[in-house]
Amino acid sequence: MTDYGAISLTGRKKDVSQKEMTFSEKLYLPGIIKGMGITLKHFFSKKVTVQYPDEKREFSPVYRGQHILMRDENGAERCTACGLCAVACPAEAITMTSAERKPGEEKLYREEKYASVYEINMLRCIFCGLCEEACPKEAIFLTEKISNADYSREGFIFGKDKLVMKPEQQVL
């Protein structure tokens, strides 16, 4: 038989008892002095504050922040507007309109079909990363960027202007 009463996961377990207090406990002063010792110890302890704008906490490599629509090594958009990300999205945040590539746009779009409109509603997005998993063309990824706040609901619908990778980000 396991004595469940003796188990202490934190090692700080204390049994509660209703027995009468001793004189020193009734005085309360030893208890208060002990408590003040504890707070003084914390006064000199290392502070856990991260002073955000000055120092930023490092993200985990798998952190899921704002989305990015990738370009390939030639600078052409990878997305073919297949719609798998929109199907996979549990929050139904993604919507897109497809278009056909015209002759002379080979530098802009990798394949014949591309997304002329690609919108993610950031208020609906739950940053689950299922779009990233669904994408067969490795076109959408979740980055470490925290998506910005805005003043209006319209501002949270991110179009291609905010999502497509900027040329200066091309370091793959």
Instruction: Using CB under 8 A, list all residues that contact another protein.
Output: 32, 35-36, 38-40, 42-43, 45-49, 51
- Helices within 70-156 (DSSP H only): 84-88, 130-134
In the complex, least distance from residue 17 CB atom to another protein, rounded to whole angstroms: 21
10 or 39: CB nearest another protein? 39
Bridge partners for 114 per DSSP:
99
Tell me whether residue 14 is exposed, middle or buried, using C-beta atoms within 10 angstroms of its C-beta: 0 to 12, 13 to 18, 19 or more: exposed
CA-closest candidate to residue 96, choices 82, 109, 106: 82
Dihedral, 66, 67, 73, 75 alpha carbons, nearest 10:
-100
4 or 43: CB nearest another protein? 43
32 or 123: CB nearest another protein? 32
Helix, strand, coil share (%) of the chain residues, nearest 5 = 25, 15, 60
In the complex, least distance from residue 122 CB atom to another protein, rounded to whole angstroms: 29
In the complex, least distance from residue 34 CB atom to another protein, rounded to whole angstroms: 10
40 or 146: CB nearest another protein? 40
9 or 33: CB nearest another protein? 33
Cα(134)–Cα(84) distance, integer angstroms: 6
In the complex, least distance from residue 36 CB atom to another protein, rounded to whole angstroms: 5
Cα(141)–Cα(64) distance, integer angstroms: 9
What is the Cα gyration radius of the chain?
28
In the complex, least distance from residue 53 CB atom to another protein, rounded to whole angstroms: 10
